[in-house]
Amino acid sequence: MENLRPIFSGLAGAVISSMLVAWASRASSERSATGLIHYGWRIRCVAVLMMAIALFIGYAALHASPNQRLLAYGIGGVSLAFAGWFAVEVLFVRAQVSETHLCHWSPWRGRRSIPWSAITGYAYSQANSWHVLSTEGYGRVRLSVFMTGVDQVVPHLPWHREDTG
């Protein structure tokens, strides 16, 4: 029975994680009257919780026995790196839709004001659950499906306006 404990712990963690993501994604279908696109409060709560868990894992790794220290540091470091990236993404990435531009803010690329005419392509990343807009001279813009108001972008895309007349 002692050998099954890690398996049951992993299964319980997977179920809890799936439930948290399902709970957090419920609010992403809301629409903002101001054209603001951002992560909702639920996914932000998940990011803060993930950061707290990663900090606990990092703290526990500091107290690992000498023969397990390398593995513990590796797991703690990866956990902290992923949780830190996720927290920065969720807390600081946002966009604003206007009639002429898509303004996008992120810690990774800074502030970009992209005219709708500069958007040249669209793709959807199934693996990352991102809408990816290719632009001419502004790089790629990634908008997560977990962002509130992301559906406001579609009516402004150049090829969508041409199709609807």
The DSSP result for 153-165, as a single string, is SGGGSHHHHHHH-
* DSSP-based three-state secondary structure for 137: coil
Mean pLDDT by 10 residues, the chain (165 residues): 74 81 67 79 90 92 90 92 94 92 92 92 89 92 89 78 49
Query: Distance between CA 29 and CA 105 in Å, rounded?
Result: 21
- pLDDT of 164 reads 46
Domain, as residue range, for 142: 113-164
- pLDDT of 1 reads 65
Does the residue 11 lie in any domain? no
- pLDDT of 18 reads 80
Is the whole model's pTM more than 0.85, yes or no? no
- pLDDT of 33 reads 63
Query: Distance between CA 115 and CA 97 in Å, rounded?
Result: 10
Query: Distance between CA 19 and CA 16 in Å, rounded?
Result: 5
Write the burial class of residue 146 (CB in 10 Å: 0-12 exposed, 13-18 middle, 19+ buried): buried
Tokens 């707290």 belong to which residue?
Answer: 52
Does the residue 14 lie in any domain? no
Does the residue 62 lie in any domain? yes
Residues 82 and 40 in one domain: yes
Residues 44 and 72 in one domain: yes
Residues 43 and 83 in one domain: yes
- pLDDT of 165 reads 47
Does the residue 131 lie in any domain? yes
Does the residue 30 lie in any domain? no
- pLDDT of 153 reads 85
Residues 87 and 40 in one domain: yes
Residues 44 and 86 in one domain: yes
- pLDDT of 12 reads 82
Residues 91 and 120 in one domain: no
Count: domains in the chain: 2
Does the residue 139 lie in any domain? yes
Residues 79 and 131 in one domain: no
Tokens 């997977």 belong to which residue?
Answer: 14
Does the residue 9 lie in any domain? no
Query: Distance between CA 61 and CA 165 in Å, rounded?
Result: 60
Among the listed residues 51, 50, 53, the one whose alpha carbon sits nearest the alpha carbon of residue 20 = 50
Alpha helices, H only, the chain: 5-25, 41-62, 69-92, 158-164
Residues 118 and 71 in one domain: no
Does the residue 75 lie in any domain? yes
